[in-house]
Amino acid sequence: MTQDGVRAEEIDTSRPHPARIYDYLLGGKDNYEVDREAGEELAAAAPEVRIGVRANRAFMQRAVQYVVGSGVRQILDVGTGLPTSPNVHEIAQDAAPDVRVAYVDNDPIVSAHGNALLSRSGSTSIVLGDLRDPRAIVDHPDVRQVIDFDEPVALLLVAVLHFLTDAEQPTEVVATLRDALSPGSFLVLSHATGDFADRSGAQAIYNRATATLNLRSRAEVERFFDGFELIEPGLAQVPFWRPDAPPPARSAEIGFYGGVARKAG
């Protein structure tokens, strides 16, 4: 199988990859031994990590339901990761069947699995792309086939920006994507933080992976929302963003901030 010229057999399995580690921690099967080993090391270094990734996933689901309930019918999910069900298009299209979703990820295995699983009806697409080149994402023909940037879009950056270093200018990356969005669009964002516990052990594990873990403070994460208006309750630990069930155990230690914001016009 090929996608954008990349052969599936060229996928690097010599080092753990964040998307595959995340899949393992969620209980998925699209991962390799190197990813499982890294996941177990993470769980030893941060015992609440499995609770945290599930809470982050639940935040994504609630946020998608919110933006679709607000009338948005287009979703651009950048850094989507492996298609653990229910994924964004399943959640969105369950609420409104006419929602269109474009997925973007830089891991060829994500593209390979996504192309095998996604509907070919034209309402979804998956693109091999790099968040560090946001203009290329916006201009990609397979994104443009699904997303009309003249209409409101929900941009999802869920648990991905913390894999960009400061030198890779994540604030400017978000600004480029924001500027492509029409008024009435939304930003759904979550980001890892060390505000609630020491995460140096987790960072050391990611230093051996294909992307480093760059933790940021609340103030640093809030800057990504420049040009947007945060929806209540604002930026919060993910279990506490509009919860629809009692928060899980150890929620106070969960190292993910999450927020949803609207672009005014």
Is 8 among the domain residues?
A: no
How many distinct structural domains can be found in the chain? 1
* pLDDT tens-digit map of 114-136: 666 665 556 888 888 999 999 99
Query: Parallel, antiparallel, or unpaired for β 2-3 and 6-7?
Result: antiparallel
Helix, strand, or coil here: 89?
Answer: helix
Interatomic CA distance for residues 184 and 147, integer angstroms: 15
Is 4 among the domain residues?
A: no
What CATH number is associated with residue 75? 3.40.50.150
Q: Model pTM?
A: 0.92
Is 123 among the domain residues?
A: yes
Residue 150 exposure: Cα atoms within 13 Å on the Cβ side:
1
* pLDDT tens-digit map of 214-245: 999 999 999 999 999 999 999 999 999 999 99
Please determine, for residue 64, whether its predicted confidence score (pLDDT) is greater than 90: yes
Interatomic CA distance for residues 185 and 178, integer angstroms: 9
Is 5 among the domain residues?
A: no
Query: Parallel, antiparallel, or unpaired for β 74-78 and 100-105?
Result: parallel
CB distance 225 to 263 below 8 Å: no
Domain that holds residue 182: 16-262
